[in-house]
Structure 1
Amino acid sequence: MSAVYSVDVRIAAPVNDTEVTDRVADAVRTLFPEADPEQRPGELAAEVHTMDGFSQLLHEYEILDTARSVFFDSLSGDRFAFDLKKQAAFEGRVNFAVGDPSELGDIHVEVIVREPDAESYIDYVAPPTEDGTPVDTE
């Protein structure tokens, strides 16, 4: 039996004058296939209630340990946040942004976990690994 998660995932991506809005929306949907970005002044925003598509990418690119580190570094109570490189997303890749934001701006993601708890949800999205292979924690 799998756990039921109640999460709100808020995604915001700046759209610069030199960028095509639809291309930025495609980049967001590449990382979060469930997203339907809406245009706001200077940005695209979306809210989804799952990170399953993103989790599949983390598994595919074998960056679960990196993701866990980023998620736990920002964990505060029931929420965590992270930034992703927009240029990498244009190319269909996941690249966590650290340090100064890129020239085009980064995709900002905030995750609020209502049920059961943020640590369990992180384990679901990016499970612990041993020698790079996900470990069954149940």
Structure 2
Amino acid sequence: MIHRIDVRVIAPVRDTEVTDRVVDAVENLFPNAEISQKPGRVVGEAHSMEAFSERLHEQEILDTARREFFARADEDGFAFALKKQAAFQGLVNFAVGNPDELGDVEVQVTVHDPDVESVVDHVAPPTEEGRPIDPE
């Protein structure tokens, strides 16, 4: 199944941070993102979440990812926030509660085709006893 999505990743750059490190943080989780630097932030644009999905599988956090995706989902897409420090290390750590002092990495996914639930199921499939369930 073909998924048509637009992924926008926005990471704030604080005065105390090196912009290249923030770029690295975004590229660690979204290696195919096209990065642009704006005053005070780094913006990445991508059309795939394959590498991000692989990381979710490796870290065995599919259920957590699904919860976060659906918590901020509507018919047009979904959004979630990630801890920047973990992203520097190539790890997915969802930001919940108070924002980090360095600012959280905001990810907005716009789904064009087929629908939000199908894209979430592809990126973070449902699990049973911690194992991904193959779609019928």
Output the TM-score relative to the length of structure 2: 0.98
Letter of the 2:46 partner, please give it. V
Q: Paired residue for 2:58? A: 60
C-alpha displacement of 1:11: 0.5
- How many residue pairs match? The answer is 136
Any idea what SS the aligned residue of 1:37 has? strand
Which of 26, 29, 32 is the matching residue for 2:27?
29
Q: Paired residue for 1:136? A: 134
- Unaligned runs of at least 5 residues, structure 2: none
Letter of the 2:43 partner, please give it. A
The whole-number CA distance in structure 1 between the counterparts of 2:89 and 2:34 is 19
Q: Paired residue for 1:50? A: 48
The whole-number CA distance in structure 2 between the counterparts of 1:100 and 1:36 is 28
- Unaligned runs of at least 5 residues, structure 1: none
1:7 aligns with 2:5: yes
The within-5 A match list for 1:66-77 is: 66-77=64-75
Q: What percent of counterpart residues are identical?
A: 60
Any idea what SS the aligned residue of 2:17 has? coil
User: Aligned-residue CA RMSD in angstroms?
Assistant: 0.7
The whole-number CA distance in structure 2 between the counterparts of 1:108 and 1:20 is 18
Letter of the 1:81 partner, please give it. A
C-alpha displacement of 1:36: 2.7
The whole-number CA distance in structure 1 between the counterparts of 2:31 and 2:72 is 23
- Runs (4 or more) in structure 1 with deviation over 4 Å come to none
Deviations along 1:41-72, one digit per CA (max 9) or x if unpaired, are 10000110000000000000000000000001
The whole-number CA distance in structure 2 between the counterparts of 1:103 and 1:43 is 14
Any idea what SS the aligned residue of 1:28 has? helix
Output the TM-score relative to the length of structure 1: 0.96
